[in-house]
Structure 1
Amino acid sequence: MRGLEQYLGFWLRRLSDTVAHRLEQKLAEHGVTVSQWDVLISVYRGDATTASEVSALMNIDPGAVSRLVDRLEAKGLISRKPDPSSRRSFVLALTDAGRTLVPQLSLTVDRHDQYFFGHLDEEERARLKEWMTGLLEHSHRMPDSLD
């Protein structure tokens, strides 16, 4: 039987927890969470303009996205506008305050990324991203039972 430190999942979780915790602390200085940042940058860049697009991009439940958008709306950073192509959907848009805040947050996230991953060269970063995306894709094919 292997010890805890011999499991890759242990190290992956430790790294993930450390990276996420530090970013959460930095973003909290601006009054947002990591998940809220994910929504803000996605809307800012136009990568997602509806809650369902955010849900698909972030791979989280639509109800969770709705709660995130509610909180961002309460903070005056995002607004919902009726979607002209669908009566049941809304288009997400940043408010003036949101458009002002996102570039500041982006600098914080860039510095955070540089701190944790700046020692890797471009090739190593690309390879790490390829490995992680490959592992995630493989995990979606994992059977319910590992017996």
Structure 2
Amino acid sequence: MSIPIGMELAHTARVVGRAFDERLAAAGGSRPTWLVLLALKQGRTRNQRELAAAIGIRGATLTHHLNGMEAEGLVVRRRDPQNRRVHVLEMTEAGEAMFQRLAVAAREHDARLRAGFGEDELAQLRDLLVRLRRNVDDDASAASVV
């Protein structure tokens, strides 16, 4: 009897995710730190609410991560002068340096994942992963790549 595709995918996701987390840790960071810095770098968000939505982390969990990142000097939070209830986020110089280290780690991890695959195979893999997501997610954004 073959392993159900969902179980195989879940196992693969755990192994790949663990390897990525280890690569980020070796560079001095973590996946939440990478996600926050990447979103800030890409300019997709400026405040905590937008950031939580962009990276898929609940507000309270994000606040916990941001507290640590602010203590490390990676980000600063300021009140939005237009709306004092909103915190605007900015990456510091130390945050930029961390982003660069983690970007190298992310590229190395990606290269490791791509090893032994041709471009046609990678394109097919992307298509298959999108189809799997669409099979279980009715959201129109399921095809978007983070």
Flag whether TM exceeds 0.5 (same fold).
yes
Alignment of 1:82-121 (within 5 A): 82-121=79-118
Q: Which residue of 2 aligns with 1:11?
A: 8
Is 2:60 the partner of 1:63?
yes
TM-score by length of 1: 0.81
- Once the 2 structures are TM-superposed, how far is the Cα of residue 120 of structure 1 from its aligned partner? 2.9
Residue type of the alignment partner of 2:3: Q
Distance 2:127 2:80 in 1: 35
Distance 1:73 1:9 in 2: 38
Choose from 122, 129, 132 the match for 1:132: 129
* RMSD of Structure 2 on Structure 1 (CA): 2.1
Distance 1:63 1:9, change over 3 A: same
- Once the 2 structures are TM-superposed, how far is the Cα of residue 41 of structure 1 from its aligned partner? 1.1
- Once the 2 structures are TM-superposed, how far is the Cα of residue 6 of structure 1 from its aligned partner? 1.9
Distance 1:91 1:134, change over 3 A: farther
Choose from 48, 53, 56 the match for 1:51: 48
Structure 1 residues 64-95: Cα deviation after superposition (integer angstroms, max 9, x where no partner): 21112112112111111222332211111111
Q: Which residue of 1 aligns with 2:143?
A: none
Distance 1:92 1:121 in 2: 39
- Once the 2 structures are TM-superposed, how far is the Cα of residue 134 of structure 1 from its aligned partner? 4.1
Question: How many residues align structurally?
Answer: 139
Distance 1:73 1:25 in 2: 22
- Once the 2 structures are TM-superposed, how far is the Cα of residue 32 of structure 1 from its aligned partner? 1.7
Identity over aligned pairs, percent: 25
TM-score by length of 2: 0.81
Alignment of 1:30-41 (within 5 A): 30-41=27-38
Distance 2:59 2:31 in 1: 17
Query: What secondary structure, in the 3-state scheme, does the structure 2 residue paired with 1:88 have?
Result: strand
Distance 1:11 1:102, change over 3 A: same
